[in-house]
Amino acid sequence: MEENKKIEAIQMGVLAVQALTEGCTGKVMGLTSKGMFLNTGERVIFITEAAYKSPFNIQISSMSNVEKTVSVGDTWHFTGHQIIFDQSHLHVDIQQSSIWQPANPPEINTELSERAARLGVILRRMHALDAEKGWLFLTDPGSWFGDGEKTYIFNRTANFLDAVETSNLDAALESGKHILGRGGGLTPSGDDWLSGFLLYFSRLGQQSAFLTDLGKSLTSLAFERTTKISANRIEAACKGWSENLFLEVLDHLFCEEIPFTDEKIDYLVNFGHSSGVDTCVGFYSALCADLPTF
């Protein structure tokens, strides 16, 4: 019989903790060089060697041996504080890991104009690093005149923002249907844009009745129309939760005393397929909406 291989988890996000209930089971959804996605029911967990904080992550020391022994479609079960992979005999022990939960936002002391100026600095550096990344073109409409796909995305997102501004839930969801799942990556660009838009207002503390209903409805649509990974991120965004890097961007926009370095912007540009850029473009669209009080 093959010997069990045991790995100790270093840190867990709060949503990963909540997903792992005694006796739950699931499959390996995807593998990358830095981690693997697991699902259990509608919940998604990411086991990774990357040190960034996320409510979905379980951090381990290295993926070097894991990716050689686990395959997409492998089954797993959770018992006695361990994720046990049935085919490879790999055990991930979470008992000694620390738990990370997103911190509450700082006291907000910036006006809309200051937030726009701070985000402008971030977006300009993103353009300088990779102007073709994701939906960054939405922040510079004059740069893509005549491109059919970009025009379609611009119109759909503009229609969504118009519907939100007038509190028209049906119209917002109609546009949302065409935004969800659009673009590449495990979390398509449209999904990241929506999660950024929703996260901006939830982190800001502007959760009106309309935005609450919109977030719940978009979450339900996401579970029907796009990846479970995206649906989980959109659901978390409605709570004001996300990867810590995005919370740091928003806290920089909302609080004069919190910096955001060029090095972090560079990391954002390379985060995921284009998730770092597209989530920030969602922040930009939320800022530009200049929403009334619902």
* Dist. CA 190–CA 135, nearest whole Å: 8
* List of residues 6+ apart from 32 with CB closer than 8 A: none
Mean pLDDT over all residues of the chain?
Answer: 93
- Local structure of 167: helix, strand or coil: coil
Coarse DSSP helix, strand, coil percentages of the chain, rounded to the nearest 5 percent: 50, 15, 35
CA distances (Å), origin 57, targets 1, 47, 110, 169: 31, 6, 31, 32
Do residues 260 and 174 touch, judged by C-beta distance below 8 A? no
Predicted local distance difference test score (pLDDT) of residue 235: 98
**pLDDT band of 3, cuts 50, 70, 90:** low
pLDDT at 294 over 60: no
Q: Which DSSP category does 131 fall into?
A: T
SS3 2: coil
pLDDT in tens, 202-245: 999 987 899 999 999 999 999 999 999 999 999 999 999 999 99
The Cα–Cα gap between 71 and 87 comes to: 9
Over 50: is that where the pLDDT of 292 sits? no
- The pLDDT, as a whole number, for residue 50 is 92
Burial of 7 (0-12, 13-18, 19+ CB in 10 A): buried
Angle (nearest 5°) at CA 9 between 8 and 12 = 165
pLDDT tens digit sequence for 16-53: 999 999 999 999 998 887 899 999 999 999 999 999 99
Which whole number is the average pLDDT over 96-111? 95
DSSP assignment string, 66-129: HHHH--TT-EEEEETTEEEETTT-EEEE-TT-EEE-PPPPPPP---HHHHHHHHHHHHHHHHHH
What pLDDT is attached to residue 293?
41
- Checking if the pLDDT of 1 tops 60, the result is no
Q: Where in the chain are the domains? A: 5-100, 112-289
Is pLDDT of 70 > 70? Answer: yes
Q: What is the pLDDT of residue 146?
A: 73
> How far is residue 254 from each of residues 110, 190, 200, measured CA to CA in Å?
5, 24, 10
pLDDT bucket at 143, cuts 50 / 70 / 90: confident
Out of 7-11, 62-66, 185-189, 254-258, least confident range:
62-66
64: confidence class by pLDDT, cuts 50, 70, 90: confident
Rg (CA), the chain: 20
Tell me the per-residue pLDDT of 232-283, one tens digit each, with 9 for 90 and over. Answer: 999 999 999 999 999 999 999 999 999 999 999 999 999 988 999 999 999 9
180-206: pLDDT as tens digits: 999 988 899 999 999 999 999 999 998
